[in-house]
Amino acid sequence: MKKYLEKFWNLSSTLKDSSEKQLTVTLKEEQVYIYELSLPMMPAKEIKEAVGWELPYHIPLVEGTYYYDYTQLKKNDGIQLVKVVAVPKEIIEQLEEAAKEQGLLLVAVNVEGYETLNLLPNAKTRLRMPRNKLYKCGTVLALGLSAFLFLGSYGYKAIQVENLHKLEAKLQAMSVLGERYEKQQKLLQRSSLLEKALAKYEKERIVWSSLLPILGECVPKECWLTYVKQREENNFVELQGRAVNIVQVQKLIENFKATSKFTNIKLLETVETKDKLLEFKILLRVRGRMQ
């Protein structure tokens, strides 16, 4: 990390009326996580909290182990697009330690292409303000405070109404995020069930393109297969057909045994038809997997 910082030393500058050098570091895109979020319209002050709720579902980091910043991109049909950049806390801590060893104050951590964002926590409090500006700000602050106290009694009701609207907007945003989370969970559950079903089917299914030619070779001349079905039991196949007589059925069973491709061969039933043919039903199990 120290070697990485060496190219930034020349970019550090001393602010006017400040004796401490201040450093800004720009990271590359591959060192951070960048994501675009679609959020419902809400007050600007509520966006940060909404981003904090939504971000853990989109980056591979545990909540509380990263810093982030965001910027609004565009708004359309009640939805606003927000660009979010997140970085592991470990990187920020290493940057601060390396800067401190060089006698520098780290005041900003940006990303290439997103220089307006600052991933450094409490970045504003790190900047030192010159004394003359500090005095001016103090004077303005005192005047503003006096005006605020003077007008406070008249604006109390308006502030209460505004806070109520903010609370309603926040609850609405949380409701939308909750519904979106429930939908994502249902989709993940359905996807998991489908994967399990496909895996079971792939394991148990019989490859008919390999099985049917073997069945055809086993059928004697005066015997026919009319129905072939895979049962739910693993690798069991039910066969139905017709034969001139029981001898042909017995030959069929012997042929099945001779192939060594089948096991558990059972003659389930035989029925004589009106045209003096013999209908039969056989159950057998395919040995292993046919490819």
CA distance 166 to 170: 6
Domains of the chain, by residue range, sit at: 2-127, 208-286
Task: Convert the pLDDT of each residue in 1-53 to its tens digit.
Answer: 555 555 444 444 333 344 557 888 888 888 899 988 888 888 888 888 888 88
What's the CATH fold of domain 2-127?
Nucleotidyltransferase; domain 5 (3.30.420)
Query: What CA–CA distances, in Å, run from 262 to 205, 212, 217, 226?
Result: 16, 13, 13, 19
pTM greater than 0.75 (yes/no): no
Q: Cα angle at 166 between 83 and 69, to 5 degrees?
A: 20
Beta partners for residue 48, in sequence order: none
Would the CA dihedral through 270, 272, 276, 280 be positive or negative?
A: negative
Fold of 208-286: Gyrase A; domain 2 (3.30.1360)
Mention every residue, 6+ apart, whose C-beta is less than 8 A from residue 214.
Answer: 259, 261
Q: What is the pLDDT of residue 43?
A: 85
Q: What is the pLDDT of residues 40-89, one digit of tens each?
A: 888 888 888 888 888 888 888 888 899 999 888 888 888 888 889 999 99
Question: Which residues are paired to 58 by β-bridges?
Answer: none
Question: Mean pLDDT highest for which of 97-106, 179-188, 200-209, 257-266?
Answer: 257-266
The pLDDT assigned to 12 comes to 41
Give the pLDDT confidence score for residue 248 in this predicted structure. Answer: 94
Mean pLDDT of the chain: 81
Residue 271's pLDDT is: 93
Q: What is the pLDDT of residue 29?
A: 85
Render pLDDT for 82-139 as a digit per residue (tens, 0 to 9): 889 999 999 888 888 888 888 888 888 888 888 888 888 877 776 654 444 555 666 7
206 vs 135: which has the higher pLDDT = 206
